[in-house]
Amino acid sequence: MAFWEDPSVKALSSGMDALWQKQQVISHNIANVETPGYKAKHVEFKEVLKKSEDGGEPVKEYRTVVSVDESTQARADGNNVQVESEELELWKTYVEYSTLTSRMSKKFSSLRYVINNAGK
């Protein structure tokens, strides 16, 4: 099995991609805190079933969906960004991303070990 086809590597990679997108959306919200009429956006992770390439069992896949927050109370200018909440969410996302990065690094270290010691 190829390294990139390993289910755990795929999961780590897609998780990192999703968290990167979430960081971008949160940063965009914070940057627009003073923009009249701006509505905060949020990233959700959705589980979807996808047909497998070999025609076998369906495969679960996680995708990100960006939605506009219409439910929270807006200020007088129509903007509904809450900076403190966005900053907290950005910090949590950073920690999650760092954790996945560390796990991916360990996967590469294991692969490097196997390659370096394969002929010994």
The tens digit of pLDDT for each residue in 46-65 reads 766 566 566 666 666 667 88
What's the Rg (C-alpha) of the chain?
19
pLDDT tens-digit map of 15-46 = 899 999 999 999 999 999 999 999 999 998 87
- The torsion angles phi and psi of 27, rounded to 5 degrees, stand at -60, -40
- Is the pLDDT at 4 greater than 80, yes or no? no
> Would you state the pLDDT for residue 60?
63
The residue ranking higher by pLDDT, 2 or 100, is 100
Q: How many domains does the chain have?
A: 1
Reported in sequence order, the residue ranges of 1-120 that DSSP labels E, i.e. its strands, are 41-50, 59-68
pLDDT at 119 over 70: no
User: 1 pLDDT exceeds 60?
Assistant: no
Domain of residue 15, residue span: 3-118
